Amino acid sequence: MSPELVAALAKTGLWVFALLQVAPVMLWLERRAPAFMQDRLGPNRVGPLGLLQGIADAVKFIFKEDVIPAGADKALYLLAPALALVPALTTFLVLPFGPTVEIAGHRTALVVVDSDAGILLFLALASLGVYSLVLAGWSSNNKWSLIGSIRATAQMISYELALTTAVVCALVPAASMNLSAVVDYQRAHVWQFLTQPIGFFVFLVASFAETNRLPFDLPEAESELVAGYHTEYGSMRFAMFFMGEYMSMTTLSALGVTLYFGGWSLPFVDFSQFSGLVQALLGFGVIMAKVAFCLFFFIWVRWTFPRFRYDQLMRLGWKVLLPLALLQFVVTAALTVGGVL
């Protein structure tokens, strides 16, 4: 095997390993954290602090009966949960977790795909996520599921627009679509959430809508639609939607961290004194620590805000967030041309 292939496999393996750990940890955190917010205990019987609850849940998912509804379109019904993992397991490819370093005599960039179209690849692969929701709802042959799917389509297309515009703003000062350049720009100047507060706000709100998290979880609103698009799913297939949601939250958080919070870098700390391998692990650790905070923020918001109504959601997306993102674009472009940023 060529050294390039080994390096690519090692970097991919690091990401996949980290992403697979997210689901069980989040499963635990999503029960314990709100329990403390509401002055309850939450699940604390399985293992110390209830930490092994995730394993108990996984065992339960695996041994549950896998039911396919009689009226379902079998092929698409089986395909949909698998598609839920596609954006989660591909988008990390363009996210950098360190500079170009030398490991075992080979120079390698600490990002799997170092492309000038990097951010476009991220957005393109992330936009495929909606297929799993749409097909799940349609193939289940269930009215609640279908309504959930139709909501998901309109919601994700609408918020993708605001999200993309906010992302474009974040690329302007670095003058590159390569995310490594965006991180380098922030290392040389300041973290971008300080210079682009409006764009960051739009990105933040839109990422909740893109991952179908409360307060925008209308595709699965349990008080109106039973469980929305995954009403008919059980056992491991339901768990795959669950994992897909948590992994998408992780990769989207990692993108937000890269664009607005300096990615793998820390202010006033210089990693370049260490060897290549240490730099890679440090960079990955830093980005994961920042992502961990973002994931906690997702949970925090979920247990703080009530769900939006559907017309409110659409109005917010088209009439508030998109104009705000465009305003940020004009401001950022003017400041960049004026030499301020």
Position 153 contacts another protein (CB under 8 A): yes
Q: Under the phi-then-psi rule, with left for phi > 0, alpha for psi from -120 to 50, and beta for the rest, what region is 42? A: left
> Both tokens of residue 79?
């395909």
Q: Give the CA count within 13 Å in the CB-facing half-sphere of 77.
A: 19
Q: Are 87 and 251 in contact (CB under 8 A)?
A: yes
Q: Which of 149, 186, 192, 212 binds another protein (CB under 8 A)?
A: 149
* Binding letters toward another protein, positions 216-255, x by CB under 8 A: ----------------------------------------
Q: Are 122 and 77 in contact (CB under 8 A)?
A: no
Position 127 contacts another protein (CB under 8 A): yes
User: Of 55-94, which residues contact another protein (CB under 8 A)?
Assistant: 73, 76
φ and ψ of 106, to 5 deg: -115, 135
Number of chain residues interacting with another protein (CB under 8 A): 28
Residues 127, 252, 242, 87, Cα dihedral to 10°: 40
Position 333 contacts another protein (CB under 8 A): no
Position 121 contacts another protein (CB under 8 A): yes
Burial class (CB in 10 A: 0-12, 13-18, 19+), 269: exposed
Rounded to whole angstroms, the Cα distance separating 27 from 246 reads 9
Q: Which of 122, 294, 143, 129 is nearest to 212 (CA)?
A: 129
Rounded to whole angstroms, the Cα distance separating 118 from 95 reads 8
Q: Which of 23, 89, 101, 146 binds another protein (CB under 8 A)?
A: 146
Q: Are 10 and 106 in contact (CB under 8 A)?
A: no
Stretch that binds another protein, among 101-109, 142-150, 210-218, 319-327 (CB under 8 A): 142-150
Position 141 contacts another protein (CB under 8 A): no
Stretch that binds another protein, among 124-132, 227-235, 242-250, 326-334 (CB under 8 A): 124-132
Considering the complex, what minimum distance in angstroms separates the CB of residue 120 from another protein?
4
Residues facing residue 102 across a β-bridge: 107
* Binding letters toward another protein, positions 180-219, x by CB under 8 A: ----------------------------------------
Q: Which of 124, 330, 334, 340 binds another protein (CB under 8 A)?
A: 124
Considering the complex, what minimum distance in angstroms separates the CB of residue 183 from another protein?
18
Stretch that binds another protein, among 22-30, 101-109, 130-138, 297-305 (CB under 8 A): 130-138
Position 160 contacts another protein (CB under 8 A): yes
Position 314 contacts another protein (CB under 8 A): no
DSSP 77-112: HHHHHHHTTTTTTTGGGG---S-EEEETTEEEESSS
DSSP 271-293: GGGS-HHHHHHHHHHHHHHHHHH
Residues facing residue 109 across a β-bridge: 100
Position 112 contacts another protein (CB under 8 A): no
Peptide linkage before 215 cis (omega within 30 of 0) = yes
Q: Which of 19, 27, 134, 287 binds another protein (CB under 8 A)?
A: 134
Q: Which of 15, 92, 138, 193 binds another protein (CB under 8 A)?
A: 138
CA distances from residue 80 to 54, 66, 90, 99, 243 in whole angstroms, order as listed: 24, 15, 16, 37, 13
Position 115 contacts another protein (CB under 8 A): yes
Stretch that binds another protein, among 26-34, 116-124, 198-206, 333-341 (CB under 8 A): 116-124
- Chain positions contacting another protein, by CB under 8 A: 73, 76, 115-117, 120-121, 123-125, 127-128, 130-131, 134-135, 137-138, 146, 149-150, 153-154, 156-157, 160, 176-177
